[in-house]
Amino acid sequence: MEVKQWWYNGENLDLGRTAREINEVRKQLEEPSSLAIQGFLSDASILRFLRARNWNVQKSSKMLKSAVKWRAAYKPEMISWEEIALEAETGKIYRADYKDKLGRTVLVLRPGLENTTSGKEQIKYLVYSLEKAIMNLTDDQEKMVWMIDFQGWTMGSTPLKVTRETVSVLQDCYPERLGLAILYNPPRLFESFYKVSSCTTSIITL
């Protein structure tokens, strides 16, 4: 197995240890059920799950198995524009045509522009947007930036169930993908979200 020169928090990782841990995780995984899953199980992807579980091979493997199971059932890479076109009508989520100073993809979220009531379809649109944002990342970037504008948001805009599921999907299926969250005029109701996210993500409130 070829392991690239990995960096984390500005420090060069021990390549020998990193390779061993990636190999240990791979040993606990089943054979990929599709080309999409095979592509998902890259060294870089396994490394993100290891970081998310503080380099614990057992916990990382368990987390990764759950993510693989989710991807195999949900098939996020297969979501088409036609499936989420209605959700996209108001521009409540879109990829900015610029990047931050580190070259990271910027995803803009405006929950105050919610235009549907189906939590299932709202999550599908979020997943579609995440997949497209990841595809837009350069080879030297793993993380993206979220700019969340709460202007116009009310209690009826986004049910708490959808908010919790958003956090769950991001944490469990896309670990180490959110590098910075910029929140404009956030309501206190979202304080729990900040606490969950701030462990691995920089949070700026305006």
pLDDT digits (tens, 9 = 90+) for 48-105: 999 999 999 999 999 999 999 999 999 999 999 999 999 999 999 999 999 999 999 9
Q: Are residues 39 and 86 in the same domain?
A: no
Total domains, the chain: 2
Decide which of 49, 74, 99 is a domain's last residue.
74
Give Cα separations from 10 to 7, 19, 88 (angstroms).
6, 19, 37
Q: Are residues 66 and 118 in the same domain?
A: no
Kindly report the CATH number assigned to the domain that includes residue 179: 3.40.525.10
pLDDT digits (tens, 9 = 90+) for 16-52: 678 899 999 999 999 998 999 999 999 999 999 999 9
- With respect to residue 175, please indicate whether it lies within any of the assigned structural domains: yes
User: pLDDT confidence of 15, banded at 50, 70, 90?
Assistant: low
Neighbour-count burial of 136, counting CB atoms closer than 10 A to its CB (0-12 exposed, 13-18 middle, 19+ buried): middle
Q: Are residues 152 and 196 in the same domain?
A: yes
Q: Are residues 96 and 188 in the same domain?
A: yes
Give the bridge partners for 203, in sequence order: 181
- With respect to residue 2, please indicate whether it lies within any of the assigned structural domains: no
Decide which of 37, 53, 74 is a domain's last residue.
74
Q: Which long-range contacts (CB under 8 A, 24 or more apart) does 160-167 make?
A: 160/189, 161/119, 162/119, 162/122, 162/123, 163/190, 163/193, 165/119, 165/123, 166/123, 166/126, 167/193, 167/196, 167/197
Computed over every residue of the chain, the mean pLDDT equals 86
Residue-range definition of the domain harbouring residue 135? 79-205
Listing from the earlier edge strand, what are the strands of the sheet with 144-149? 93-99, 105-109, 144-149, 178-184, 202-205
- With respect to residue 154, please indicate whether it lies within any of the assigned structural domains: yes
Q: Are residues 140 and 181 in the same domain?
A: yes
Q: Are residues 63 and 146 in the same domain?
A: no
Tell me the C-alpha distance between 206 and 201, whole Å: 16
Tell me the C-alpha distance between 58 and 52, whole Å: 12
Q: What is the pLDDT of residue 154?
A: 81
Q: Are residues 54 and 134 in the same domain?
A: no
Neighbours of 36 (CB within 10 A): 15
- With respect to residue 1, please indicate whether it lies within any of the assigned structural domains: no
Q: Are residues 43 and 86 in the same domain?
A: no
User: What is this structure's pTM?
Assistant: 0.84
Give Cα separations from 160 to 109, 118, 119, 121, 189 (angstroms).
16, 13, 10, 15, 9
Q: Are residues 67 and 135 in the same domain?
A: no
Q: Are residues 185 and 102 in the same domain?
A: yes
